[in-house]
Structure 1
Amino acid sequence: MMAVTEDARVTQLLARARAGDAAAMGAAYAAVYEELKRAARVQLRRMRDAFQTTALVNEAYLKLAAGADLKAVDRNHLLALSARAMRQVLVDDARARKADKRGGGQEALTLTASLGNGDAAAVEVLALDELLTSLHQLDARAAQIVELRYFGGYEEAEIGDMLGISERTVRRDWRKARAFLLAEMRA
C-alpha cells in the first residue's frame, strides 16, 4: 500500500514539474534517489568502474533537469529516463577518457579515478553504446531492456514492472538482445 502512495506522489510531482514547477522535479527525483543509487552501485560494481555512485546519480539528475522537455509521467518512466541519463553520463565520461589518451599528454580532471580497469571499461561502454544504437533500430524494447539492465542495474521483475510486460517477455527479449550483442561483438 505504501509503494502505491509513493508512486502516486511521484506521479503528482512529475505532473507539477511538467507544468513548470522546477522544485517538483527535484522532489520527484529525491523520492527515487535511493533506488537510483542502488541501481548505480550495482552497475558500477559490474563494470568495475571507479565512477562514484553518488556522482553518477547526481550527474544523471543534472542531465534530466537540464532537459527542458522532461516528459516523465510516472515513477517507472522517471527510473527509465534516469537509466538512460546514467548511460549518457558513462558514455560521455568514457569518450572523454578515450580522447584524453590521444590528446596532448595533459592529465585531465574527471569524475572518475582510473585505476587500470577504467580504460577497458571506457572501451566497453563505448562499444555497448554503439551496439545499443544499432539494436534500437531493430528492436527498441530489447534495447531498452539492455539499457535498464546494464546501465540501470535493474532485475527482470523490476524491468517488467517498468515496461508493463511480463518477466517472461523480459527474459525472452534479454536473450534475443544478448545474442545480437554477442554476434555483433564477434563480427
Structure 2
Amino acid sequence: MGEREKSDVTQLLIKMKQGSEEAYEEIFPIVYSELKRLAHSKLKKERDNITFTETELVHEVYLKMVDQTLIDANDKDHFMAIAARCMRQILVDHARKKNAEKRGSGQQDVTYIDKLLKAHHEAEELVELDDKIKELAELDQRMADVVTLRFFGQMTVYATANALDVSERTVKRDWAKARGWLYKELNK
C-alpha cells in the first residue's frame, strides 16, 4: 500500500471515529486487496484442501469490524492489526465450534467460515495455539500481541512495531522469544 493510500486510510479512520457511515464503505475497497492477501496466507497455512475462500474470510472479518460500535484505529497499520485480531477470533471461534461438533453437539453451520475448519485435527491445533497465546499473554501481553500480528496478521516487523508503538528491535526480540516459547509449549 502506497503512502497516499495509507494517508487515505488514516483520514477515513478519523471520519469513522467522528461517526461517518460513508467512511466504512470507502475504507473497504482501499484495504480489500491487503485483507484478501492476509486471508489467503492464513487459509493456506491452515490446510491444503480448503473449500472456504479468502474472499469469504475477508468479508467475515470486515463484517465483524464494522459490527463493532467503533473501530478505534489510528492509522492503516493499526487497522490491519485489528483485522488480524478479528481473523484470529473468527478462526479460533469456529475451531472451537468444530471441536464441539466432534464431541456430538451437532450444531448447524451458520456462516461461510464454518467450512474453514472441517478437518477436526486442524481445528484442534488452532485451538491449542490460541490457548498457548492466551498463556503467553499472561506472561507477556506484548509478546502475545506480536505473535497475533505477525502470525495471524502476516504483518511486517515495521508494521507490527508501528501498530504496537514500539521499536522494530523490540518486535524482533519479542517475536524470537515468543516463537521459542510457543515451540517449547506446543511440543510438550
1:110, distance to aligned residue in structure 2 (A): 5.3
The one-letter amino acid of 1:119's match is: H
Structure 1 equivalent of residue 130 of structure 2: 129
Aligned to 2:73: 72
Asked whether 1:101 is paired with 2:98, we answer: no
> Within 2, Cα distance between the matches of 1:64 and 1:178?
28
Q: Which amino acid aligns with 2:22?
A: A
TM-fit CA distance, 1:69: 3.0
Structure 1 window deviating more from structure 2 (101-110 vs 51-60): it is 101-110
> How do 1:25-174 and structure 2 match up within 5 A?
25-48=24-47, 50=50, 51-103=52-104, 108=109, 111=112, 112-113=114-115, 118-174=119-175
> Shift in Å at residue 184 of structure 1?
2.2
Is the Cα–Cα contact under 8 Å of residues 36 and 58 in structure 2 kept in the other structure?
Answer: yes
| Residue number in structure 1 paired with 2:13 | 14
Q: Given that residues 147 and 175 in structure 2 are in contact (C-alpha distance below 8 angstroms), is that contact kept between their aligned partners in structure 1?
A: yes
Between 75-84 and 51-60, the greater mean CA deviation after superposition: 51-60
**Cα separation, partners in 2 of 1:137 and 1:30, compared to 1, 3 Å:** farther
Q: Against the structure 1 CA distance between its residues 88 and 105, is the aligned structure 2 distance closer, same or farther, given a 3 Å change threshold?
A: closer
Deviates more, 1:159-168 or 1:25-34: 159-168
TM-score normalised per structure 2: 0.86
- Larger mean CA deviation between 31-40 and 41-50 belongs to 41-50
For residues 72 and 115 of structure 1, the distance between their equivalents in structure 2, rounded to whole angstroms, comes to: 29
How many percent identity over aligned positions? 42
Shift of 1:18: 1.1
Q: Contact 2:17–2:71 (CA<8 Å) still a contact in 1? A: yes
Inter-partner Cα distance in structure 2 for 1:107 and 1:62: 20
Q: Deviations over 1:75-131 (max 9, x none)?
A: 111000000000011011111111111225576465344697x21221111111111
Q: 1:99 to 1:142 in 2, by over 3 A?
A: same
User: What is the alpha-carbon distance in structure 1 between the residues aligned to residue 10 and residue 85 of structure 2?
Assistant: 19
Tell me how far apart the structure 2 counterparts of residues 120 and 185 of structure 1 sit (CA, whole Å): 14
2:181 match: 180
Question: Bigger shift: 83-92 or 5-14?
Answer: 5-14
User: What SS does structure 2 have at the residue aligned with 1:69?
Assistant: coil
Report the number of matched residues.
185
User: TM-score, length-normalised on structure 1?
Assistant: 0.86
Q: Out of 78-87 and 104-113, give the one that drifted further.
A: 104-113
Q: 1:82 to 1:178 in 2, by over 3 A?
A: same
Give the CA RMSD over aligned residues.
2.4
